[in-house]
Amino acid sequence: MQAKVLVVDDDVNIFELVRLYLEKEGYTVQGAHDGETALSLFKTNRPDLVVLDLMLPNIDGMDVCREIRKTSSVPIIMLTAKGETLDKILGLEMGADDYLVKPFEPKELVARVKAVLRRTQAAPEAEEQVVSYPGLRISLVNYELTVGDQTIPVPPKELELLHHLASHPNRVYTREQLLEEVWGFDYFGDSRTVDVHVKRLREKLEGAEDGWQLKTVWGVGYKFEVKTLA
């Protein structure tokens, strides 16, 4: 079954162009031109991915993203016409998995949709997909993060980043290595994306560390430090 994509953009011409390209690739496309309609469609139709414009009438893209993240970790690709670093970072901090600056090539958006869905819909490989430490369980089988006795909502890319680091305890990764190994060669962003995702992960893990820590290695990158590892 082909994936369902919800495209949210108040520019009807952009929406129709994106819809045309996505449907050509076999995706089922739903559309909304304002934030209120987008949230209503999301609740009733449960798409597999959301393409979300930042500037929307009624409820803007940031608030739509925030509302979706309260109940779902569905992948979100955010669109912004401004192209400013602040907007990109704010979008990522709200839980977006990727961003694209207008004007953009429809083929590039299709490539990003394919890349995100390929990662999130990949078939799990049993035990390798679950990493556990005291007070922490990271599962790619059902894309769940358990901290203590609570299941924490987390966007797919944050979960994949944490899983990758925790699967290789005490190994130091540069930001560029993480972009290559977690986001893949088809990622179009920059290394600040990693910093934003690590910041969000630390907020979710705060107070739960028990012999492990998501640590910054200054001047290099990040590692999942396990102090009691033999």
Residue extents of the structural domains in the chain: 4-120, 126-226
Q: Check pLDDT > 50 for residue 127.
A: no
Q: Which pLDDT belongs to residue 202?
A: 93
Quote the crossing angle between the two packed helices 192-205 and 85-93, to the nearest 10°.
30
Q: Which pLDDT belongs to residue 216?
A: 93
Q: Pick one of 1.10.3720.10, 3.30.70.100, 3.40.50.880, 1.10.10.10 as the CATH number of 126-226.
A: 1.10.10.10
Per-residue model confidence as pLDDT tens digits over 161-198: 999 999 999 999 998 888 888 877 555 556 788 898 99
Per-residue model confidence as pLDDT tens digits over 40-84: 999 999 999 999 998 888 888 889 998 998 888 888 998 887 656
% residues pLDDT > 70 (the chain): 87
Other beta carbons within 10 Å of 17: 14
Site of tokens 């430490």: 133
Class of the CATH-defined domain 4-120: alpha beta
Question: Which pTM value belongs to this model?
Answer: 0.63
pLDDT confidence band for 146 (50 / 70 / 90): very high
Q: Which pLDDT belongs to residue 126?
A: 45
